Chain A
Amino acid sequence: MSTNSNTIISLPDQKTARIPKMNYLSKENGLLSWLLTGDHKRIAILYLISITFFFFIGGALAGLIRLELLTPQSDLMATDTYNKVFTMHGVIMIFLFLVPSVPATLGNFFIPMMLGAKDLALPKINLLSWYLYLAGGILVITTMVTGGVDTGWTFTTPLSTHYVNTNVLTTGLAVFIAGFSSIFTGLNFIVTIHKMRCPGMTWFRMPLFVWAHYAASILMVLGTPVLAIAVVLLALERTVGIGIFDPTKGGDPLLFQHLFWFYSHPAVYIMILPGMGVISETISTFSRKRIFGYTAVAFSSVAIAVFGFFVWAHHMFIMGISNYAMLVFSLLTMLVAVPSAIKIFNWTFTLYKGSITFETPMLYSFGFMGLFTIGGLTGVFLGSSGTDIHLTETYFIVAHFHFVMVGGMLMAFLAGIHFWWPKMTGRMYPEKISQLAAVVTFIGFNFTFFPQFILGMLGMPRRYAAYPPEFQVLNVFSTAGATILGVGYLLPILYLTWSLKYGEIAGDNPWQATGLEWQTQSPPLTENFLVTPIMDHEAYDYEWLDEQKAKEVASVG
């Protein structure tokens, strides 16, 4: 056991420790045992692999965008190619990476374990959702290879229905299919959280990770069908010309945007809420304290989900909605800042007088808190219609949502992956190099996206391959930062793969964390626990954990 007070990592004696022979990975072998599995943990791994694949495609496209923007002229690619590149970047990153990232991998893996259940309520639906995801993903790749689409990921009408001649239909279909994958994941989570909790696991003993996923699942279940119908109508308008979004026939192109953003704004919270769940777990574990204001943090997730449904029109302030609508939606938008701030403040209070250690997941979590706060506050600027009219469609928007999505969600995803890696694989990742990767990511991120705030303030519009030469310095900064960021993302892929074979044996509970998922072997058994656990303490109860440990030693010694 480590006696170093700078870390809480406590690993078993490496000479004698072994990975348990029976676990969910070793239970069955062969490709079919994976492709037909009903085990939520295996499906989570399938998701993790496919999501990483799509992340790297999306990331490569981002690299192309930054390379093109290195110089003011459009010289690396033609302008219409550039349009396709940023559209595909958006579609892949949003629908194939951010939306399923934490829920479908970490959520899938750990929600049943945190609740003391053997599996999600509907294992076959869970597998179906992975296949739908994959089908959507393959369709997107096919679309990209066969000519791409250039409407932007928002498919704005009437551009998408009447003017462009690219693969809008197949991309729409892909989004439709991937949407159903997300609906099924959310549905599965809600049913599991309602019906599969182990004895003693009351709603307010659930880890905040589960609460966050519950809120995100509500959004998935209620929001995604509206996206589905919007995409269906879009496809009908494009193919048959039904007129619903066509002003020449009396239709209203704005109706599409209302329907689209009715999903796509909540989708932003689908992306960020699970990340917030991860942060709640890591902050508590690495400061050895119960989350300050547990109930407030739990309800703030639900509040974000509820408010999230009533703010969509703030994406349309310059699209010609009425002044009164602007007023109302502006006000509602600012309300979202309240539950978000509750979370940030409560995490900060958790740190206060905690025994903080700085392992990799904690570093990523700090990155999340800082960057998400900036992303969130700039959201308030954009929520007030006056500034929005100046800043919308500029790089300020791009920087804002990348601060939330990349600075927030991606940091949280990496925090979660590192935090639960020992549980998923039974092995530790190498600590020093991963701390380095966390720092590199943070630096690279700020270099990439902070200049974009300034560019946006100065008036550089988004979605153009060329820009006036006076913006070049900041763009060069941004591209240089993107290179650093790329290295920051490449590192985890390398050392995490390395650790699968050479990492230290982690043991059951390397972090001395309190969640039920840590009270079983790593990697876990197919049915998670030998006997159904009974939850007899509150979440994040470190005294309970100490008692457990004391008992263990007594019985062995």
Chain B
Amino acid sequence: MSDSTAIAPGAPEAAHHDHPPYQRHHFETVEQQADATNFAMWLFLLTEIMFFGGLFTAYLIYRNWYYPAFVEASHQLNIFWGTANTAVLISSSFTMAMGVWCAETRRRSGLVLCLVLTFLLGLVFLGIKSIEYSEKIEKHHVPGFHYSVSAFIDPQSDPEIYKEYHDKPMPLDMARHTELYFFLYFAMTGMHALHMIIGIAILGFMIFKARAGAYTAGHVTFVENFGLYWHFVDIVWIFLFPLLYLISRHAN
């Protein structure tokens, strides 16, 4: 303001006593910093739960309303790829956890290896997901774009699925609600995949930093927090997989 034009020369900056370079000046100790950022990450994950919660609510309601449509639509999902993806994701969580351990015990090459493995497993997941998506596109099961209910009105027109489940034909009135199922499928797995993509991008950045030794000098908060994020994304899938693929999967 007006009186503050003159700045006292040589006024002492906040005293920088001996603390490690990664400690931000407004924290008293490194522990406080790690504690605070860790807590912030947990809170952020809480907001993520609420975000996905909206979708899970919608799933719950429409599954209750249109149970037969949800059962038959879920038969269209490829359980082989779904299971494979679950395995891939759980493995990636394991490599991520190993990465955090490597960072804590200051093993640089171990950390880089773990991050690269996590990165690759993440890509494999997305690859498999895109195979599944393209199946849906081929069968006109993408809601909003030329959606076709023929496989549910006349299950025998889709012999591969029919062979396995012997689904009964549904009246059009119920069959068209499969579109809601597929919307929820795409919205939930798509939102999950978006989180994977963001995670993979951050992983790429971390691999570079890890090679330069950024996380193996005692400051592991970033790796730890990213690990939390990665496990969270994993856990979302652990809920999605049974809800979308498994719970209606019994032959009639």
Are B58 and A255 neighbours in the complex by a CB distance under 8 Å?
yes
Tell whether B61 is near chain A: CB-to-CB under 8 Å. Answer: yes
Chain A residue nearest in CB terms to B5 = A26
* Stretch of A219-227, A356-364, A407-415 contacting B (4+ beta carbons < 8 Å): A219-227
Are A241 and B36 neighbours in the complex by a CB distance under 8 Å?
no
Chain B residue nearest in CB terms to A530 = B14
A196-B36, A222-B46 are contacts. A26–B4 as well, Cβ < 8 Å?
yes
Are A187 and B43 neighbours in the complex by a CB distance under 8 Å?
yes
Are A21 and B7 neighbours in the complex by a CB distance under 8 Å?
yes
Are B48 and A187 neighbours in the complex by a CB distance under 8 Å?
no
Tell whether B40 is near chain A: CB-to-CB under 8 Å. Answer: yes
How many chain B residues touch A (CB < 8 A): the figure is: 47
Inter-chain contacts of B5 with A (CB < 8 A) = 26
Tell whether B47 is near chain A: CB-to-CB under 8 Å. Answer: yes
Are B39 and A194 neighbours in the complex by a CB distance under 8 Å?
yes
Inter-chain contacts of B51 with A (CB < 8 A) = 225-226, 228-229
Are B54 and A191 neighbours in the complex by a CB distance under 8 Å?
no
* Stretch of B152-160, B172-180, B207-215 contacting A (4+ beta carbons < 8 Å): B172-180
Interface residues of B in 86-122 (CB under 8 A from A): none
Chain A residue nearest in CB terms to B55 = A229
Are B47 and A225 neighbours in the complex by a CB distance under 8 Å?
yes
What is the 8 Å Cβ interface bit string for chain A, positions 235-251, against chain B (1 contact, 0 not)?
Answer: 01000111110000111
Inter-chain contacts of B24 with A (CB < 8 A) = 123
Nearest CB on B from A426, distance (A):
7
Tell whether A305 is near chain B: CB-to-CB under 8 Å. Answer: no
Inter-chain contacts of A243 with B (CB < 8 A) = 143-144, 179-180, 183
Are B14 and A527 neighbours in the complex by a CB distance under 8 Å?
yes
How many chain A residues touch B (CB < 8 A): the figure is: 57
* Stretch of A114-122, A160-168, A541-549 contacting B (4+ beta carbons < 8 Å): A114-122
Nearest CB on A from B18, distance (A):
17
Checking A118, A119, A259 against B57 with a beta-carbon cut-off of 8 angstroms, the contacting residue is A259
Inter-chain contacts of B50 with A (CB < 8 A) = 221-223, 225-226
Are A25 and B46 neighbours in the complex by a CB distance under 8 Å?
no
Nearest CB on A from B203, distance (A):
21
Tell whether A171 is near chain B: CB-to-CB under 8 Å. Answer: no
Interface residues of A in 174-221 (CB under 8 A from B): 183, 187-188, 190-192, 194-196, 221
Nearest CB on A from B230, distance (A):
19
Chain B residue nearest in CB terms to A222 = B50
Are A255 and B61 neighbours in the complex by a CB distance under 8 Å?
yes
Bound Cα distance A258, B184 (Å): 17
Interface residues of A in 431-483 (CB under 8 A from B): none
Inter-chain contacts of B217 with A (CB < 8 A) = none
Chain B residue nearest in CB terms to A249 = B179
Are B46 and A221 neighbours in the complex by a CB distance under 8 Å?
yes
What is the 8 Å Cβ interface bit string for chain B, positions 44-87, against chain A (1 contact, 0 not)?
Answer: 10111011111101100110011000000000000000000000
Are B26 and A187 neighbours in the complex by a CB distance under 8 Å?
no
Interface residues of B in 9-57 (CB under 8 A from A): 11, 14, 24-26, 28, 32, 35-37, 39-40, 43-44, 46-48, 50-55, 57
Are A191 and B66 neighbours in the complex by a CB distance under 8 Å?
no
Are A240 and B4 neighbours in the complex by a CB distance under 8 Å?
no
What is the 8 Å Cβ interface bit string for chain A, positions 11-48, against chain B (1 contact, 0 not)?
Answer: 00000001111110111000000000000000000000
A226-B51, A241-B144 are contacts. A23–B40 as well, Cβ < 8 Å?
no
Inter-chain contacts of B36 with A (CB < 8 A) = 121-122, 191-192, 194-196
Are B39 and A21 neighbours in the complex by a CB distance under 8 Å?
no
Checking A191, A196, A252 against B61 with a beta-carbon cut-off of 8 angstroms, the contacting residue is A252
Are B8 and A21 neighbours in the complex by a CB distance under 8 Å?
yes
Inter-chain contacts of A250 with B (CB < 8 A) = 62, 65-66, 176-177, 179-180
Are B26 and A119 neighbours in the complex by a CB distance under 8 Å?
yes
Are A221 and B43 neighbours in the complex by a CB distance under 8 Å?
yes
Checking B1, B37, B46, B144 against A240 with a beta-carbon cut-off of 8 angstroms, the contacting residue is B144
Nearest CB on B from A77, distance (A):
36
Bound Cα distance A223, B51 (Å): 9
Are A230 and B54 neighbours in the complex by a CB distance under 8 Å?
yes
Tell whether B252 is near chain A: CB-to-CB under 8 Å. Answer: no
Interface residues of A in 103-157 (CB under 8 A from B): 117-119, 121-123, 125
Are A22 and B8 neighbours in the complex by a CB distance under 8 Å?
yes
Nearest CB on B from A146, distance (A):
26
Tell whether B187 is near chain A: CB-to-CB under 8 Å. Answer: yes
Inter-chain contacts of B8 with A (CB < 8 A) = 21-22
What is the 8 Å Cβ interface bit string for chain A, positions 347-363, against chain B (1 contact, 0 not)?
Answer: 00000000000000000
Tell whether A282 is near chain B: CB-to-CB under 8 Å. Answer: no
Are A249 and B54 neighbours in the complex by a CB distance under 8 Å?
no
Tell whether B138 is near chain A: CB-to-CB under 8 Å. Answer: no
Tell whether B145 is near chain A: CB-to-CB under 8 Å. Answer: yes
Looking at A121, A190, A221, the one whose CB has the most chain B CB atoms below 10 A away is A121
Are B143 and A22 neighbours in the complex by a CB distance under 8 Å?
no
Inter-chain contacts of B61 with A (CB < 8 A) = 252, 255
Tell whether A500 is near chain B: CB-to-CB under 8 Å. Answer: yes
Tell whether A301 is near chain B: CB-to-CB under 8 Å. Answer: no
Checking A196, A230, A501 against B1 with a beta-carbon cut-off of 8 angstroms, the contacting residue is A501
Inter-chain contacts of A400 with B (CB < 8 A) = none
Are A21 and B4 neighbours in the complex by a CB distance under 8 Å?
yes
Are B26 and A244 neighbours in the complex by a CB distance under 8 Å?
no
Given contacts A191-B40, A427-B1, A500-B1, 12 further A-B contacts (CB under 8 A): A21-B6, A21-B7, A21-B11, A123-B26, A221-B50, A222-B47, A225-B48, A225-B53, A229-B51, A229-B53, A240-B145, A255-B57
**What 6 A-B pairs are tightest by C-beta distance, nearest first?**
A229-B54, A26-B4, A240-B144, A119-B26, A225-B51, A118-B26
20 residue pairs of the A-B complex, CB under 8 angstroms, read A19-B1, A19-B2, A21-B11, A22-B11, A26-B4, A118-B25, A121-B36, A121-B37, A190-B43, A191-B40, A191-B43, A195-B32, A222-B50, A224-B47, A229-B51, A233-B187, A241-B143, A249-B179, A249-B180, A250-B179
